Structure 1
Amino acid sequence: MSWEEQLSALFDDLEGQAEALYDAEREAEVADRSRAEYQHVTLASRLMASLGTEVGVHVVGLGALHGELHRVSAEWCLLVSSAQEWIVPLSAVAAVRDASPRSVPEVAWSPLTRLGLGSALRRLAEAGERCLVHLADGSRHEARLTRVGADFVETSGERGATMLVGFARLAAVQSRTR
């Protein structure tokens, strides 16, 4: 092998080593950036990627629910099982099983997903159907939703008894009719 070929081979080898070092450094940087960016992923964005799939949701004061995820917003989700619908505030969600490993950023969401918990509860109030209102303390009350305020829902129970339930203590609203 001539000295020119040896020099060219040496440069090729050095170039290969430099490329391998760059790749290793870049891989570590990409992994570090991925970990840093993940802090911006919300539960709602992970649930949004799970729309239309069966998930298990553990709700504070209620326990495990299973069903298909039909709607998601930044504040609540709609879980549908065979005989009932569950409106669950995300603040009452303790854990979710079988969610998509992906997420959908809020900028990609439909404007309809920006509707708050009050909007979902107003739909039930307008329908006038009887519901089970589950609270974070584990209690539940059969009632009709009558009116929805900024941060509470008014219910009418047996014999017309009125109860106000703050959104912060609401675990889920279970509609039995589908």
Structure 2
Amino acid sequence: MKMIVVTGMPGAGKEEFLSAGIDAGVPFVRMGDVVREAYAASGSEKEGMTVGQFAGNERKIHGTDIWAKRAIERMYGDIFIVDGCRSMDEVRSFRSLGADVRIVAVHAAPSVRYDRLVKRAREDAPHNKEEFDTRDSRELSWGVGEVIALCDYMMINMASLEEFHEKSAALLRSLR
């Protein structure tokens, strides 16, 4: 199995890279979806816990690669995209399958990422710059910076959406 593991800070454009994979018919799993589904089923919201706090708590209880292990249960086919890898422990979990793992990091400047997160208005969107910085710090504490630093391919997402989609599609073609 070829596995394309996508990483990056919140709002960098991982979902846009994934959309190029979807257009190419590559099966995928969003690690964030795995987390949000587990969070919804856990009742943690009633306890006042945020999705991010829940994800971190699960890592403490079950190990730093728990979300990778849960994502692996959803994988199939000869090529697969994993969106939202946060640590090298997760990468090692994917590699333990014997898969040909390639890490693609998506990068955008913090000011651009902040604007994107606010505009997409998802439940976990920051209400202010302090919340954005706190989320970035949490993500970095999980090890996402190391995964970005050790990536095989760096996709800079600072130009137009069309240009980024074209670059993403070209990279996906080369990885097939």
TM-score range, shorter chain: under 0.3
Scaled by the length of structure 2, the TM-score of the pair is: 0.25
Instruction: Give 1 or 2 for the bigger CA radius of gyration.
Output: 1
Question: Comparing both chains, which one has the higher relative contact order based on Cα–Cα distances under 8 Å and sequence gaps of 6 or more?
Answer: 2
Scaled by the length of structure 1, the TM-score of the pair is: 0.24
Specify which structure has the higher proportion of helix. 2
Specify which structure has the higher proportion of strand. 1
